[in-house]
Structure 1
Amino acid sequence: MDATVLDRIAALRIVPVVVVDGADEGARLADALVAGGLPVAEITLRLPGALDALRAVAAEQPDVLVGAGTVVTADQVDEVVEAGAKFLVSPGTFEPVVRRAHELGVPILPGVATASDVMRALDLGVRVVKLFPASIAGGPAAIKALSAPFGQVRFMPTGGVNAANLHDYLDLPSVIAAGGSWMVERPLVTAGDWAEITRRTAQAVALAAPRSTTTEG
């Protein structure tokens, strides 16, 4: 299960970090992402209706790879997996959360910001982590530095990733994808501006496409 889900994330290259409140917002946002060519969402547990949103997307839009973010307790692991989350993301590396995710067979990307965090994740059997908050933790330079002693680890930087610096991350061989919210900003959701979310999503997908490395002669 881990390999399949992580392979899909790696193929999509961007994971929208979504803040939605309730089933209707979740379903409409998922529709907007799909229309923009990006059938994946990390629904963060930041608002009271986040679980309802996750449940709606998982039930009504099976083609969308839906995950849960801001998972910080083992009980939340149970709740989001029951709601249909296919992957979990946490802001830190917390043993009870990681172990419970493994017990339920759901891939988890725990947050890291230091070499000690990475070592803790490795000890828990994790090979793909979330650099968070990426811009504060050192950005692309931090990933390059951490990749030297931890060549077996792959990263999904999140926090401060945007259209302007996306390829600074995606061009690194140890980055499988980047998490970002610029295409799904909360004011767009509350305004119901699904067309703008679709437009930004399509732009992000085009921007994230692997760049050509062909040579002449």
Structure 2
Amino acid sequence: MPRFSDLMGKQKVLPIIQTDSEEQGVQIAKAMVAGGVRVVEVVLRTPASLAALSAIKQQVPELIVGAGTILDAETLDKALAAGADFIITPAITPKLLVALESCPVPVIPGVSNTADIALAYEAGYREMKLFPAVLCGGLAFLKAVSSVFQDVKFCPTGGVKADNLQDFLALDNVAAVGGTWLADKNWVSNGSWEQITQACLAANQAA
């Protein structure tokens, strides 16, 4: 099975799509593609999220689309049925790790402290999401754990923005960063799709 980093390739910034409708999600996705994006995460935080994920897969087939905010086996099954190419969780529990064992697509488990990292490491994971990255220690935390978990790569998300993404990406144990700033809520509400495109272009250039 390919790893998350294999799916990302040279892309270092993972844009996060949060949407209230299928149409809105597709418009965001198309704007991101125009900005050079090939991999996105759709967070399952609204009633329309799963339908939006499916619509993006159908209408923007060049995109690799992952599902985020996976908290339990039921949500995992729904995300896979919707066509998710990879799975990202905001946190981990022993029960969730069991559900993820048979997942047919790459998984990035969410961690926020050394105990979480050790639990995910024990389950065989070497690529993890640090969330909420800035609130749980950010750059200092990632530097501190680098000597202990030497073969773990992180995708920090939560508080990562245009003005600090280069600091995160400069760390050897950071493979990519994730963020919502690429699809600002005001841009989405106003249908300012070109601003999303420009933000993605700027992020790719900075990375």
Task: Give the C-alpha shift of residue 65 in structure 1.
Answer: 1.2
Deviation readout 1:83-116 (Å, 9 max, x if unpaired): 0111111111123333333313221111111111
Return the TM-score normalized by structure 1. 0.91
Which segments of 5 or more consecutive residues in structure 1 lack a partner in the other structure?
209-217
Map 1:36-55 → 2, pairs under 5 A: 36-55=35-54
2:128 maps to a residue whose letter is V
Give the corresponding residue for 1:148: 147
Deviation readout 1:10-66 (Å, 9 max, x if unpaired): 521000111112221111111000000012211111111000110111122221111
Q: Quick check: 1:30–1:39 contact (8 Å CA) kept in 2?
A: no
Give the corresponding residue for 1:89: 88
For residue 142 of structure 1, give the secondary structure of its aligned residue in structure 2.
helix
Give the corresponding residue for 2:112: 113
- CA distance in structure 2 between the partners assigned to 1:57 and 1:16 by the alignment: 14
Deviation readout 1:134-177 (Å, 9 max, x if unpaired): 10111111111111110111100000001111011101111110
- Displacement over 4 Å in runs of 4+: none
1:2 aligns with 2:2: yes
Map 1:17-166 → 2, pairs under 5 A: 17-166=16-165
Deviates more, 1:104-113 or 1:41-50: 104-113
Map 1:168-187 → 2, pairs under 5 A: 168-187=167-186
- CA distance in structure 1 between the partners assigned to 2:54 and 2:65 by the alignment: 9
- CA distance in structure 2 between the partners assigned to 1:56 and 1:6 by the alignment: 24
Return the TM-score normalized by structure 2. 0.95
Taking only aligned residues, the RMSD between alpha carbons, in angstroms, comes to: 1.3
For residue 179 of structure 1, give the secondary structure of its aligned residue in structure 2.
strand
2:168 maps to a residue whose letter is Y
Summarize the Cα distance change of 1:206–1:76 in structure 2 as closer, same or farther, 3 Å threshold: same
